[in-house]
Amino acid sequence: MKRLLLLSLLFPILTLAQESETPETKAPTVWDLTDLFPSVEDWETALNEVSDGIPVLESYQGKLGESAALLEAALKERSDLSRKLGRVRVYASLKADEDLGEPEPRARKQRVSSVSSELWQSSSWMSPEIIAVGPEKIEAFIAEAPGLAPFDHGLRSTLRHAPHTLTPEVERVLAAAGKLTRQPSQIYSVFANADLPWPTITLSTGEEVYLNQAGYSKYRAVDNRDDRKAVFDAFWGKLGAYQSTMGQVLLSEVEANVFQSEMRDYDNILDWTLSGDNLPEEVYRSLVKVTNESLPTLHRYFKLRERMLGIDDIRYYDVYPDLVESDEVFTIDRSIETTVLGVAGLGEEYGDLLKSYVQIDHTHVFPQKGKRSGAYMSGSAYDTDPYMLLNHNDDYNSMSTYAHEVGHALHTILTKEHQPYEKSGYSTFIAETAAIVNELMLQDYALENAKDDQERLFYLGTALEQLRGTFFRQTMFAEFELAIHEEVEKGAPLTGDRLTQLYGDLLKRYHGHDEGVLTIDDAYCVEWAYIPHFYYDFYVFQYATSISAAAYYTEEIKKNGEPALEKYLNVLKAGGSDDPHEILLEESGLDMTQEAPYRALIRRMESIMDQIELILDQESA
């Protein structure tokens, strides 16, 4: 199959993969990578072509201001190399994720990383040179040469960064330093996943469990409360013993970010981190403001959880057990069919794309030995349809994850069908919205078709936990991330103890510790050392803005129908044709600097709790 596609982001949903038998299914369950390259030899040829093209790109240095034709040729050369590299990278990455234990695919990934770094360094002179040509001449070139139309937004974005762009020599040094600034994340990953001596404990059932990060994620949700406490005490106790080391690693990440911000003369770290997407600072500020004003809604959720679990002193280790259990089986076929029905409200165009995509053998569905855990959509290869990795375990979470990832895939396809490659790289700020709208539509469909109140409670409880984890928890992370960077900016020491103190204060405030809502033990305040997202450079706040935008769009589509749907789909089709905030504003009228989207999410959460309490009151009457 050959329909076309795009993008360069992976969207991970972390789950615990388990090896299983591959069941019979109507849907393709293993991806076919020959749409990318028929063989490894073809892949090798393409990788070499990227390397061989780098000197050609460098030959344009010093010539961008000579004519519109030369500027277009240089930009086209860089675009072609990036496009080919995206295809090469996707093949290497997907092949490696089939079995992480195989050395040859890992080696291919490393080779791609090396060539990618070389291309980045070898093109680092382009932005300073475009800025030196100046906006007046660049605009004249755009008007003169139709071939520059795919590059117009990128050129204007480059010019916008003029005050923060350095000389070609310094830019090349900073590009080369990227290998160094990525090291804290690599060190954290190796230490947390390979070297840290995680504990083993025995549960009340007699089962001995190994509490590495995957083990903790699984066993923190067990039914027995004493076991949950034992899991928390052992896991956080072990991590707490290494808080000084983990603190030094995170400090290195923070210092690298502050260094880049200061080198480029940004006013502050928030100015630096929002500059890439040209996001107004008010987006972050409005999110945090509304979240903090809405903490009573979160505290209401904890008291409701306390009621549903049948306890009277809810503590941090009571947050993860399912509020309602379900033995429903959600096969991959059922997941696909229910998703198709669930998103029917997104219209015929969207539904037809989904029905077409599920027939394509671009999804690796089931867990297998050595396979990467979790789930993601990979759309960097512009000239093929998106690829998806799942670890489908036949539960509701697997179905929700499918709906999420296919939302990314259809966003990718819609963007590709309406944008050239050069404008196909949509922002993370918008990306998660497309995936979460699918999840919310699926939730609403499941609720409308639940066979009884018990099943309805299951779906409501699952939806409630998603809002807690994706909105409130991610905003708390965002507050912490900004706070620790501001500590370094003002020259304050940032030790493991200080990180635990800062995180603990936020953890207790969000969970109502001082108000007697939910008790946070001091030993659990080292949780910051467990969160890999703090190495993603202010990525987390976008989860919260995305789920807010998704709640807003879902509400608008249900309320206003076709006009609201058209606006939403126009956002997906816009890709990277403009700055993400402007796309939301111009295509759909959604202003993320205002409170409306965040209030929509809070309304949804309050409504869910109203429905749960009504069912519980009826049951107890």
Rounded to the nearest integer, the mean pLDDT of the chain is: 92
Q: What pTM did the predictor assign?
A: 0.89
pLDDT, residue 600, reads 95
CB proximity list for 290: less than 8 A, separation 6 or greater: 595, 598, 599, 602
Cα–Cα separations (whole angstroms), residue 579 to 150, 331, 417: 14, 39, 19
For 13-81, the DSSP string reads B------------SS--S--GGGT-SSHHHHHHHHHHHHHHHHHHHTTTT-TTT-HHHHHHHHHHHHHH
> Rounded to an integer, what distance in angstroms lies between the CA atom of residue 314 and that of residue 518?
5
The DSSP code for 420 is -
For 540-564, the DSSP string reads THHHHHHHHHHHHHHHHHHHH-HHH
Residue 196 in this model has a pLDDT that exceeds 90: no
The more confidently predicted of residues 536 and 448 is 448
Tens-digit pLDDT profile for residues 217-245: 889 999 999 999 999 999 999 999 999 99
Three-state DSSP class for residue 513: coil
CATH class of the 197-241 domain in this structure: mainly alpha
pLDDT, residue 168, reads 82
pLDDT, residue 13, reads 37
Q: Kindly state the helix (H) or strand (E) to which residue 378 belongs, with its residue range.
A: strand 376-378
Task: Report CA torsion sign: 8, 13, 16, 20.
Answer: negative
**Under 8 Å between Cβ of 54 and 114:** no
613 annotated active-site = no
Model confidence at 182, pLDDT cuts 50, 70, 90, reads confident
CB proximity list for 238: less than 8 A, separation 6 or greater: 196, 197, 198, 199, 211
Residues 129, 171, 253, 405: which is the catalytic one? 405
Closest CA to 30 of 97, 76, 84, 78: 97
CA angle 26, 28, 33 (to 5 degrees): 170
Residue 525 in this model has a pLDDT that exceeds 80: yes
pLDDT, residue 191, reads 80
Structure tokens at 575: 């890709």
Tens-digit pLDDT profile for residues 60-84: 999 999 999 999 999 999 999 999 9
pLDDT, residue 199, reads 95
Query: What are the boundaries of each domain within the chain?
Result: 35-165, 197-241
pLDDT, residue 51, reads 97
Residue range 287-300: mean pLDDT, rounded = 97
pLDDT, residue 10, reads 35
Model confidence at 23, pLDDT cuts 50, 70, 90, reads low
Cα–Cα separations (whole angstroms), residue 207 to 157, 212, 593, 602: 57, 15, 50, 40
Model confidence at 185, pLDDT cuts 50, 70, 90, reads confident
> Rounded to an integer, what distance in angstroms lies between the CA atom of residue 113 and that of residue 182?
12
> Rounded to an integer, what distance in angstroms lies between the CA atom of residue 332 and that of residue 24?
10
Residue 394 in this model has a pLDDT that exceeds 50: yes
Residue range 267-288: mean pLDDT, rounded = 93
Model confidence at 14, pLDDT cuts 50, 70, 90, reads very low
Residue range 247-257: mean pLDDT, rounded = 93
Residue range 424-444: mean pLDDT, rounded = 95
Tens-digit pLDDT profile for residues 484-514: 999 999 999 999 999 999 999 999 999 999 9
The more confidently predicted of residues 45 and 177 is 45
Tens-digit pLDDT profile for residues 24-55: 677 789 999 999 999 999 999 999 999 999 99
Length, in residues, of the chain:
621
**Under 8 Å between Cβ of 214 and 198:** no
Residue 5 in this model has a pLDDT that exceeds 80: no
Number of Cα atoms under 13 Å in the Cβ half of residue 418: 16
197-241 and 35-165 share a CATH fold: no
Residue 284 in this model has a pLDDT that exceeds 80: yes
CATH topology of domain 35-165: Butyryl-CoA Dehydrogenase, subunit A; domain 3 (1.20.140)
pLDDT, residue 310, reads 94
The more confidently predicted of residues 3 and 197 is 197
> Rounded to an integer, what distance in angstroms lies between the CA atom of residue 305 and that of residue 363?
36
**Under 8 Å between Cβ of 5 and 413:** yes
Tens-digit pLDDT profile for residues 583-598: 999 999 999 999 999 9
CB proximity list for 569: less than 8 A, separation 6 or greater: 346, 347, 349, 350, 414
Model confidence at 213, pLDDT cuts 50, 70, 90, reads confident
Task: Report CA torsion sign: 51, 52, 53, 54.
Answer: positive
> Rounded to an integer, what distance in angstroms lies between the CA atom of residue 230 and that of residue 201?
8
Residues above pLDDT 70, as percent of the chain: 96
